[in-house]
Amino acid sequence: MPVLTSKDLHKAFGSIQAVKGVSCEAEQGEIFGLVGPDGAGKSTTLRMLAGLLKPDQGFSIINDADVLAQPDLARCQLGYMPQHFALYSDLSVKENLAFFADMYLVEKAKRRERLERLYRFSRLEPYSNRPAGKLSGGMQKKLALMCAMIHTPKVLILDEPTTGVDPLSRRELWDILYAFADQGVAIVVSTPYMDEAERCHKVALMHSGAFVAFGNPKSLVSRMEGRVLAGRAQKPVTIAAELMKHSGVSRAYQVGHSVHVVLIDVAMEKEVISYGAEWLELKPQRPSFEDLFLDLTGEN
Amino acid sequence: MEHVVVAENLTRKFGDFTAVDNVSFQVGRGEIYGFLGPNGAGKSTTIRMLTGLMAPTSGKAMVLEFDLETESEKIKERIGYMSQRFSLYQDLTVIQNLNFYAGIYRIPRNKKADRIDWVLQMADLSGREDILAAELAGGWKQRLALGCALLHEPEVLFLDEPTAGVDPRARRGFWDLIAKMSEQGVTVFVTTHYMDEAENCHRLSLIYSGRLIATATPEYMRSQVIDDRIIEVSVFPQDEAIQVLEANPNVRRAQVFGEVLHILANPNIDGIEVVQKTLSAAGLKPSQPIYIEPSLEDAFIYLIEIEDQREEGRKR
């Protein structure tokens, strides 16, 4: 039984169709990732899921409550973290948490236990008296996440929690999300980083307001299996241009000292390898989400 | 190999805080060299010193054989710098921005038209000359900024997180341009904390707390840096499996990665067998475990953890 369901969401701003018919579902304990570049429509989608923006068409339901028709019922089951979360920078970590606990009418008797749990996940307790404005970027994101979880919602909607965060803090944030999911929280999270798609249980690749792919991340990437080759070369740019001349090659480009080749079809593998042998030794390479994204959004 | 950028024991302090701590490296002609590190590690301070915008507290830096301390003016004419926030004039058009930068870089009148044409071609901005910079999409804006930094044909290009937030297609196009520049002999120094930018470099240095902790090619970082082997397995419930695995002395760590677990195991044993047996003995039903190649991010985090342990050791 999904705890979050949305169907056929549309939203236009003036003449720009920001979201064109998006449907999603998330179950208890599931992490659903919305992956796509800036301007793909991720934030608009999340705001409609959270009931903060009225869709032109479609609806969104959180645990039986329609986010627009029964906003109070929906909101008490929902935690939402916008991309630029408004923490009070001159309040300490502890004071920010107390403020959000008051806002969400969290009973005083339950606070202590909840805070202990959130501190355990976030490892922010040693900094509880530090002003939020003096925390590092990664720690601020963790604090924002704690504030969004203070009322123990069943659904958590997070808009790019890892953007601009360094790899170390990024991994910590994901560990916190896994811990929440483990407790049964359904999480919808957006990210512009293709390499985060594989961290989700279910993923939608978003481009120009619509999903271009949807499903289990491993099986999505496996669609590209056998179509990506790579090899080292002295002048990778020049050689990529040579490889592009072959009709079996969809794209060829340099990555560091290597050339990556994406085939139009798996069946072309042998032919392209022997064509390329004049310049370099091509070997099959594990496809990435970026390969998939470029393939699905390509004009050629 | 000719060294175009050389840093020797470069150090910069702000009061008690050492932002860049005794850093030394060399960058060869035509090389794409990456400075990879978390926020606050000292990347931007280093780039500011190398471009002559900030003086080092101690140590030395040479760019194109000129000493930054005494000859920084000569350097400025021969380098290009593209900062994180593109320094474009939003209310000027594409062509007005280019004219403005041509003036700043004192490009001779007889060369100016050619150079601007070259940039319009290179950045694929022909036909967009009269669009306001503010109205360009992210990818175009970034190419215009790069074009402005390349107008005066610099021999060295400094890029500060050049493709943050740009969509994958535009980013691909950008790196194709950079690679082309590099094949033509332009040296590129780039700072980033994005792994996918780092992959595009010929060589990388990892900077952490102001210190260089590793320098190698991305391939080497992925394949040689981590002592443990990484095993991937699908097993549920994940938290129970992690507890069981981490109790095994041959497992350094087990962590969730989407629907699977990644296990860092002792390289001198048959890790696959250990994972399989440990999980089965606990009554769990794992999928067939497989060895996977570490990602650049795995290597990066591994190196930082080792550095943190060393730092702890020093404090004790």
pLDDT greater than 60 at residue B276 = yes
Average pLDDT of the residues of chain B: 90
Tell me the CA end-to-end span of chain B in Å, nearest whole number.
42
pLDDT greater than 50 at residue B11 = yes
How far is Cα B134 from Cα B149, in angstroms, rounded to an integer?
A: 18
pLDDT for residue A299: 55
How far is Cα A65 from Cα A74, in angstroms, rounded to an integer?
A: 5
Helices and strands, counts by H and E, chain A:
10, 14
**Residue limits of CATH 3.30.70.940 in chain A:** 224-297
- Partner A contacted by B172 (CB < 8 A): yes
Tokens (6 digits) for A157: 């909607």
pLDDT for residue B163: 77
Length of chain B measured in residues: 316
DSSP labels, B17-74: EEEEEEEEEEEETT-EEEEE--TTSSHHHHHHHHTTSS--SEEEEEETTEEHHHHHHH
With CB atoms and an 8 Å threshold, state whether A256 touches B239: no
Query: Which DSSP helix (H) or strand (E) runs through B253?
Result: strand B251-257
pLDDT greater than 60 at residue A83 = yes
How far is Cα B168 from Cα B156, in angstroms, rounded to an integer?
A: 25
How far is Cα A199 from Cα A218, in angstroms, rounded to an integer?
A: 10
Strand partners, A286: none
The domain A224-297 is placed in CATH, from the list 1.10.1370.30, 3.40.50.720, 3.40.1160.10, 3.30.70.940, at 3.30.70.940
Tokens (6 digits) for A243: 């490889």
Residue identified by tokens 């507890």 is B243
Name the residue among A163, A256, A298 with its Cβ closest to that of B201: A256
How far is Cα A127 from Cα A103, in angstroms, rounded to an integer?
A: 22
Contact A250, A295 (CB under 8 A): yes
How far is Cα A198 from Cα A191, in angstroms, rounded to an integer?
A: 12
pLDDT confidence of B165, banded at 50, 70, 90? Answer: low
Query: Which DSSP helix (H) or strand (E) runs through A4?
Result: strand A2-13
- Partner A contacted by B301 (CB < 8 A): yes
Per residue in A195-239, pLDDT (tens digit) is 899 999 999 999 999 999 999 999 999 999 999 999 999 889 999
Q: Which residue of B has its CA nearest to A171?
A: B301
How far is Cα B199 from Cα A287, in angstroms, rounded to an integer?
A: 15
Ramachandran sector of residue B174 (left: φ over 0; alpha: ψ -120 to 50; beta: rest): alpha
Say how many C-beta atoms besides its own lie within 10 A of residue A120's C-beta: 11
The reported pTM is 0.86
With CB atoms and an 8 Å threshold, state whether B200 touches A253: no
Name the residue among A40, A166, A256 with its Cβ closest to that of B217: A256
Rg value, chain A, Cα: 22
At residue B153, what are phi and psi to the nearest 5 degrees? Answer: 50, 60
> Distance from A254 to chain B by nearest Cα, in Å?
7
The 8-class DSSP code of residue A174 comes to H
With CB atoms and an 8 Å threshold, state whether A38 touches B138: yes
How far is Cα B76 from Cα B71, in angstroms, rounded to an integer?
A: 9
Q: Which residues of A touch B201 (CB under 8 A)?
A: 256
Classified by CATH at the fold level, domain A2-217 comes out as Rossmann fold (3.40.50)
With CB atoms and an 8 Å threshold, state whether B179 touches A236: yes
How far is Cα A84 from Cα A140, in angstroms, rounded to an integer?
A: 10
The 8-class DSSP code of residue A85 comes to -
Tokens (6 digits) for B302: 């591994």
Per residue in A24-47, pLDDT (tens digit) is 999 999 999 999 988 899 999 999
Tokens (6 digits) for B135: 């109205």
pLDDT greater than 70 at residue B31 = yes
The 8-class DSSP code of residue A59 comes to E
- Partner B contacted by A27 (CB < 8 A): no
Mutate which: A140, A166, A206, vs B, most B CBs within 10 A? A166
DSSP labels, B152-218: T--SEEEEESTTTT--HHHHHHHHHHHHHHHHTT-EEEEEES-HHHHTT-SEEEEEETTEEEEEE-H
Q: Which residues of A touch B194 (CB under 8 A)?
A: 193
Q: What ipTM describes this predicted complex?
A: 0.78
Contact A135, A93 (CB under 8 A): yes
Longest dimension (CA), chain B: 79
- The helix/strand/coil state of A25 is strand
Per residue in B83-106, pLDDT (tens digit) is 866 678 899 999 999 999 999 888
**Residue limits of CATH 3.40.50.300 in chain A:** 2-217
How far is Cα B273 from Cα B142, in angstroms, rounded to an integer?
A: 50
